[in-house]
A and B are shown apart, each in its own frame.
Chain A
Amino acid sequence: MIYAFLDEDAKKEIRRAILKAIAIPGYLVSFASREMPIARGWGTGGLQVTLSVISPEDVLKVIDQGSDDSVNAVNIRKFIENVTNNETTTETEKATLIQSRHRIPEKPLKNGQILVLQVPEPEVLSNVETDSAKQKDMHANEDYSKLWVLLYEDTAQFGDSRIGSRYPVRVHGRYIMDPSPIPKYDTPKLNKNEALILLGAGREKKIYAVPPFTDVEPIKFDDQGFHIEEFKDKRCEICGASGVYFDEIFDENDNPHYYCNDTAYCASRKGNL
């Protein structure tokens, strides 16, 4: 089998799309998404991006929902390992290439690292405009009024936006993009991140990017602060960490318990204790 599964022409096409995406931060670039041996919606976009940019010296980390051990992460990591023979790791700082679903690692990323996010719904306007031709016009005209109306209606009714994860962000002062379903907690990490962030949506056939050190801001009214998920006074019951994103787990008596969601971060702290 060929190195990294995809044929060289496919990789070339995807790399060109990635280059265009980097050149226009937050802009959705179409690409001819290939059929992958995992189902659509399971990370085929991220997988195609990863397989197109990976080179033999890369060290790979795969995360799903904050964990390196969840079924989908294991599955994707094993597959990439099998078709590349690349070294893999769970340690964020050791990895040169990280494919992730729903989380940005707790440990800050460094320049030279690439974070690939799997994206289920790349078009930020799809909630408010279903016609893709109109969506394109709206992006071209920087017309995001419908998003602001949605934000206003939610705020009027519920005090804040009802959007939990995948909170819309403006990239480099121009395009508003869907940051993939990361929690709001991770949204500020997108801003001026040292790593290159590539976002791949296989089912919807789109690639987009946030280059290193780029401004990324959640959309918000001037008089409304951006509120991330809070876990006040909570500590991880394994490593004692606070101020991180937690998994809230209920025991048989419905009592909540808190553990670091980023299992690699938790393990690294535990190793240092």
Chain B
Amino acid sequence: MGYVAVKGGEKAIEYSQNFYRQFFYRKSDNNFIINNLSFAVDKVMSEGGLFTKLLSAEAIRKSGGDLLNASFYVRAHRSTCQRTGDARIVKTEDIRILRRISSAFKDIEGGQILGPSDDYAVKLLLNADYREKKYKNFNKSDIYLKSALTTLRNNNLVKKIEKDNQIWDITRVFPNPPYPRSAVQQVMSRGETGAMLAFAYTTMRGYGDVHPTIGDLRIGYAPVYFKHPFLEEEIKIGDIEVTSCECVGSFNKDQNGDIKLTTGFGFCFGFNETKAISMSILDLSLYNKSYTIGEKHIADDFEIIMFHIDGIESYGFANHFKLPHYVTFQSDLQVFDNANQFNKKEKK
């Protein structure tokens, strides 16, 4: 048996990249991508962990629309950015709201604000009748609202989880277990939407908490404050588009033995409702052990979430299989041959 080794000569790689550019990376306008593929741009910003529409659009162009690859470009670029300091923590109350809904409560202060959404659209490719109506009663004034769960919190009905004294920064130091909550939140915030959805889905289908209710889901513009290096005071340096979700699970006993409702929180860059919902469900599952009886579940295992939720890492590893593996495979084959010989002898 003969195996031809796949060798990547320098010239060959160069030609391959030129070919890639010609094949996938044609001229298109970054502004077009920002304006027309906004969910794609938001997904890339969120998973890339950097709020930059322009570079995300550029990354989408360079990756030919492979969004994980695009996030990879952004995250790689992020590593080149100088860290100048920490912004003030964004409060969800300060989000200027574009859309905010609660499925836990029918009537909430500030109301259900559907905002722009195609959730209720009948998804027929060829029938445009449904979308032709002009919207009415569009409120142009800015909306700020406290969480729909505030009443429950004020009445001390919600289980509280201890705050981290210091906010961890996973881009500088990756923690060891037990993982600080701020680190877990960051890992999930940058996590891959599909992976997060899949893990969250396991807990919805019976491997865990089962059917949480969305208490407050909002998308909007959060102000970012930063301490001016010379003036020494905090100034607003801009708005970022964000999604935030608080979900409510079953009730359970807290540290004092009191029965409290359990909640989970999800927060990420861009308008990513599926991701924020999934993240809040994972947060809920991680910090509130299983509602159902049985063994450990995927969604309440810190190790599984911390190490498998990252799209860039799993994407990279899955694609590394494209690299030559002829040395290891050669040795696998020898082991196989030996086993085969042994088996034949035994059979006789």
Q: Using a Cβ–Cβ cut-off of 8 Å, how many residues does chain B contribute to the interface with A?
A: 27
- Contact between chains at A71 and B124 (CB < 8 Å): no
A residues 149-196 in Cβ contact with B at 8 Å: 149-150, 153, 157-158, 162, 181
Which residues from chain B contact A250 at a C-beta distance below 8 Å? 105, 107-109, 151
A71-B114, A162-B250 known; A146+B293 contact, CB < 8 A: yes
Which residues from chain B contact A149 at a C-beta distance below 8 Å? 293
- Contact between chains at B206 and A130 (CB < 8 Å): yes
Interface mask (B93-116 → A, CB under 8 Å = 1, otherwise 0): 000000000000111110000100
Q: Is B119 engaged at the interface, CB distance under 8 Å to the other chain? A: yes
Q: In the complex, A249→B253 CA distance in Å?
A: 26
- Contact between chains at A37 and B122 (CB < 8 Å): yes
Q: In the complex, A127→B203 CA distance in Å?
A: 10
Q: In the complex, A121→B203 CA distance in Å?
A: 12
Q: Is B211 engaged at the interface, CB distance under 8 Å to the other chain? A: yes
- Contact between chains at A150 and B293 (CB < 8 Å): yes
A127-B206, A128-B293, A162-B250 known; A71+B259 contact, CB < 8 A: no
The residue in chain A whose Cβ has the minimal distance to the Cβ of B253 is A157
Q: Is A200 engaged at the interface, CB distance under 8 Å to the other chain? A: no
Q: Which of B122, B155, B211 contacts A120 (CB 8 A)?
A: B211
- Contact between chains at B114 and A127 (CB < 8 Å): no
Which residues from chain A contact B124 at a C-beta distance below 8 Å? 37
Q: In the complex, A115→B335 CA distance in Å?
A: 63
Q: In the complex, A219→B259 CA distance in Å?
A: 24
- Contact between chains at A38 and B206 (CB < 8 Å): no
A126-B206, A127-B206, A128-B294 known; A249+B123 contact, CB < 8 A: no
Q: Which of A71, A162, A254 contacts B291 (CB 8 A)?
A: A162
The residue in chain B whose Cβ has the minimal distance to the Cβ of A71 is B120
CB distance from B154 to the nearest CB of A (A): 7
Which residues from chain A contact B114 at a C-beta distance below 8 Å? 71
A65-B106, A247-B107 known; A121+B205 contact, CB < 8 A: yes
CB distance from A204 to the nearest CB of B (A): 8
- Contact between chains at A38 and B122 (CB < 8 Å): yes
CB distance from A118 to the nearest CB of B (A): 14
CB distance from B266 to the nearest CB of A (A): 18
A residues 77-133 in Cβ contact with B at 8 Å: 79, 120-121, 123, 126-130
Interface mask (B293-311 → A, CB under 8 Å = 1, otherwise 0): 1100000000000000000
Q: In the complex, A65→B112 CA distance in Å?
A: 15
Q: In the complex, A247→B107 CA distance in Å?
A: 9
- Contact between chains at B122 and A158 (CB < 8 Å): no
CB distance from B199 to the nearest CB of A (A): 14
- Contact between chains at A127 and B210 (CB < 8 Å): yes
Q: Which of A37, A128, A181 contacts B292 (CB 8 A)?
A: A128
**In the complex, which of the residues A38, A158, A250, A254 has the most CB atoms of chain B within 10 Å of its own CB atom?**
A250
Q: Is A223 engaged at the interface, CB distance under 8 Å to the other chain? A: no
- Contact between chains at A38 and B105 (CB < 8 Å): no
CB distance from A227 to the nearest CB of B (A): 16
Q: In the complex, A252→B110 CA distance in Å?
A: 9
A75-B122, A127-B292, A162-B250 known; A254+B154 contact, CB < 8 A: yes
- Contact between chains at B105 and A130 (CB < 8 Å): no
Which residues from chain A contact B251 at a C-beta distance below 8 Å? 162
The residue in chain A whose Cβ has the minimal distance to the Cβ of B206 is A126
Q: In the complex, A247→B114 CA distance in Å?
A: 20
- Contact between chains at A126 and B120 (CB < 8 Å): no
Q: Is B207 engaged at the interface, CB distance under 8 Å to the other chain? A: yes
A residues 249-270 in Cβ contact with B at 8 Å: 249-250, 252, 254
- Contact between chains at B120 and A75 (CB < 8 Å): yes
B residues 20-72 in Cβ contact with A at 8 Å: none
Q: In the complex, A75→B124 CA distance in Å?
A: 13
Which residues from chain B contact A214 at a C-beta distance below 8 Å? none
Q: In the complex, A254→B152 CA distance in Å?
A: 9
Interface mask (A8-41 → B, CB under 8 Å = 1, otherwise 0): 0000000000000000000000000000011100
Report, nearest first, the 7 A-B pairs whose CB atoms are least far apart. Answer: A126-B206, A249-B107, A127-B292, A37-B122, A37-B123, A75-B120, A37-B124
List residues of chain A with CB under 8 Å of any chain B CB: 37-39, 65, 71-72, 75, 79, 120-121, 123, 126-130, 146, 149-150, 153, 157-158, 162, 181, 247, 249-250, 252, 254
List residues of chain B with CB under 8 Å of any chain A CB: 105-109, 114, 119-120, 122-124, 151, 154-155, 205-207, 210-211, 250-251, 253, 259, 291-294
- 17 inter-chain pairs at a CB distance below 8 angstroms, sorted by A residue, are A37-B123, A37-B124, A38-B122, A75-B122, A79-B122, A121-B205, A121-B206, A121-B211, A127-B291, A128-B294, A130-B207, A153-B293, A158-B259, A247-B107, A250-B107, A250-B108, A254-B155
Excluding A153-B293, A158-B259, A162-B251, 10 further A-B contacts by CB distance (< 8 Å) are: A72-B120, A121-B206, A127-B210, A128-B293, A130-B294, A146-B293, A247-B106, A250-B109, A250-B151, A254-B154
